[in-house]
Structure 1
Amino acid sequence: MEQLKLSNQFCFPLYAASRFITQQYRPLLEKLEVTYPQYLVLLVLWEEDGIPIKEITEKLLLETNTLTPLLKRMQTNGLIERTRSKEDERIVTISLTEKGKKLQQKAEEIPNDLLQTLECLNIGKEDMLKVKEVLEKMLSNV
């Protein structure tokens, strides 16, 4: 059956590319001593600090039960603080610590470093922007 060939699957190149890109991030993020999911949380908080967990889950398309253990590790590592709302104890706000804020400066080169790595593989910025645009279009309906 032709439709069951791996080479005909839409999902496999997305899966493999995602794994490849994450692997390329690994040495860049080791300098910050964070994992890729932690880096994503930091990106959200560098953009807007002091937001409820619910907003982070929405931005990262994650479930709370996936994000909570990640946030606990980040708190243990001194990158974030978790604070319960005084008005509604169900709402937990996540804020960067000084250590978390300082990582932003160290992280500024990561996007350029990743781009250089991909360009060495003959993947240009224009191609990456096209793929990003298509994926964002797909995710906008999730």
Structure 2
Amino acid sequence: MKKRRKKLNLFKSHGFKLNRLSNTASTQLENELMRKYDVTLSQWAVLAIVWEHEGIRSSDLQEILHVKVSTASGVIKRMEKKGLIVRKKNREDRREMHLYSTELSKNMAVEVVETVKELNREMLHGFSAEEKELFMNLMDRAYKNLTQ
């Protein structure tokens, strides 16, 4: 007697649902950021970190974002060309680069953050405060499970 393989229902797969949500949210956010500010999703992530940590080392930024040096370098170079950030060498260690926001990016910070918050509100519409907190905690736990 042959064993029957249990079929995977794609729409009951946690990974599929998470990926679908991530792709949809990312696409909508990037479309809004590009339309309003000419900023990509990757650039938004860098800006959010630099706004929070002015003078952050580029190596620390790469670690936070979990991206390769080449990926981060490309995003940073494009952002410099747009006038969104500046790189400055460390005086003690000339190999070390620090990132700073420019007046241009500082001036758009409030509006960009509000755009992101609006998408989050739309995505979590109808969720209670407790459900929002639980959702964040569950995502953090799942991420830790995959990265430890």
Q: Same fold (TM over 0.5)?
A: yes
What is the distance in 1 between the residues matched to 2:18 and 2:121?
A: 21
Q: What is the CA distance between 1:73 and its match in structure 2?
A: 0.4
Task: State the partner residue of 2:89.
Answer: 84
Q: In the superposition, relative to structure 1, how do residues 3 and 131 fare at CA in structure 2: closer, same or farther (>3 Å)?
A: farther
Q: Deviations over 1:64-84 (max 9, x none)?
A: 221110110000000001122
Q: What is the CA distance between 1:4 and its match in structure 2?
A: 4.7
Computing the radius of gyration over CA atoms, which structure comes out larger, 1 or 2? 2
- Letter matched to residue 36 of structure 1: L
What is the distance in 2 between the residues matched to 1:129 and 1:73?
A: 35
Q: Deviations over 1:86-116 (max 9, x none)?
A: 2212211111111111111222312332134
Please, which runs of 5 or more residues in structure 1 have no aligned partner? none
Please, which runs of 5 or more residues in structure 2 have no aligned partner? none
Contact residue 75 and residue 81 of structure 1 kept, 8 A = yes
Question: Do structure 1's residue 54 and structure 2's residue 59 form an aligned pair?
Answer: yes
Q: In the superposition, relative to structure 1, how do residues 24 and 124 fare at CA in structure 2: closer, same or farther (>3 Å)?
A: farther
Q: In the superposition, relative to structure 1, how do residues 125 and 104 fare at CA in structure 2: closer, same or farther (>3 Å)?
A: farther
Contact residue 29 and residue 116 of structure 2 kept, 8 A = no
Which one of 96, 104, 127 corresponds to residue 124 of structure 1? Answer: 127
Q: What is the CA distance between 1:5 and its match in structure 2?
A: 4.5
Name the SS of the counterpart of 2:67 in structure 1.
coil
Name the SS of the counterpart of 1:108 in structure 2.
helix
Which one of 6, 13, 18 corresponds to residue 9 of structure 1? Answer: 13
For the aligned residue pairs, the C-alpha RMSD in angstroms reads: 2.1
Q: Deviations over 1:2-44 (max 9, x none)?
A: 2654345332112111101112213431212101111111110
Which one of 91, 98, 103 corresponds to residue 103 of structure 2? Answer: 98
